A = this chain, B = another copy of it.
Amino acid sequence: MPTLHHFPLDPFCRRIRLALGEYAVVTTMEEEKPWEHRPGFLALNPAGEVPVLVDDDGTVVCGILAVSEYLEEVHGSGERTLLGNTPAARAETRRLVSWFDGRFNHEITTPVLMEKAVRRFLPPEMGGGPPDMERVRTAMKRLPGHLEYIARLVEERGLLAGDRPTMADLAAAAHISVLEYLDAVRWDGHDSAKLWYQRIKSRPSFRPLLADRVRSINPPAVYSELDF
């Protein structure tokens, strides 16, 4: 059975867990706190980043780019694809993945995750301490623009990159699920985006994420509700 080294609240690891579910690949999960720079983990991935997938034949696949494309190459043919069946469709999926893993992550997920979660686990010399709530508020102000972008896409296409679930839906939902765990999503006035998220959140691949509980951080009740 393959092993995924992941941190539960990392949005990239969450996307890979969702993708593993969609591809129906049963995987052992190993939790890793990448900021601890554990020597055994650095030996697997010198960059020290999650996710890392170790496949049955011993192949070590490091980082979100490599793991995402590897899974699609090995498990994503035909109906199982999470990228699309033409180069143009795959380009559109990857454009949207970059939107969420790039801009959305930089503007919102990274600051919220750092302030509301990671900072509690860090020693003071690495930036540990109380959260900077002003930084969280600034990040949360960027969310409505992204929810409007999601709404425009799903009103036109059904889902983000077309009418079937793709890696773009998983990427966007992975980021939003981190924010929801940390009580940083407000859906008022964003009905189309909320319906889209309910639809993705209801997929069987999402269930393991809804059962996540991170030490000393309890999610709001809405986190694991499908009808929120």
Contact = CB atoms under 8 A, between A and B. Distances in A.
A5 to B, nearest CB: 14
Q: A57, A64, A73, A91 — which one has the most chain B CB atoms within 10 A of its CB?
A: A91
Interface stretch (A28-36, A93-101, A193-201, A217-225): A93-101
A93 to B, nearest CB: 8
Interface string A156-193: 00000000000000000000000000000000000000
A92 B60 CA distance: 8
A64 B70 CA distance: 18
B90 A70 contact: yes
A126 interface: no
A202 B158 CA distance: 49
Nearest to A69: B94
- Number of this chain's copies in the assembly equals 2
Nearest to A64: B98
A95 B66 contact: yes
Most B Cβ at <10 Å: residue of A47, A65, A73, A102: A65
Contacts of A97: 65
Interface in A70-96: 70, 73-74, 87-88, 90-92, 94-95
B47 A98 contact: yes
Given A47-B103, A63-B102, A73 B94 contact: no
A91 B103 contact: no
A91 B59 contact: yes
Given A59-B88, A61-B95, A95-B62, A102 B69 contact: no
Interface in A202-216: none
Interface residues of A, number: 31
B87 A70 contact: yes
Contacts of A57: 88
B88 A47 contact: no
Contacts of A69: 69, 90-91, 94
Interface string A45-61: 11101000000010111
A95 B94 CA distance: 17
Among all A-B residue pairs, the 5 with the closest Cβ atoms:
A66-B94, A61-B91, A62-B95, A63-B98, A59-B88
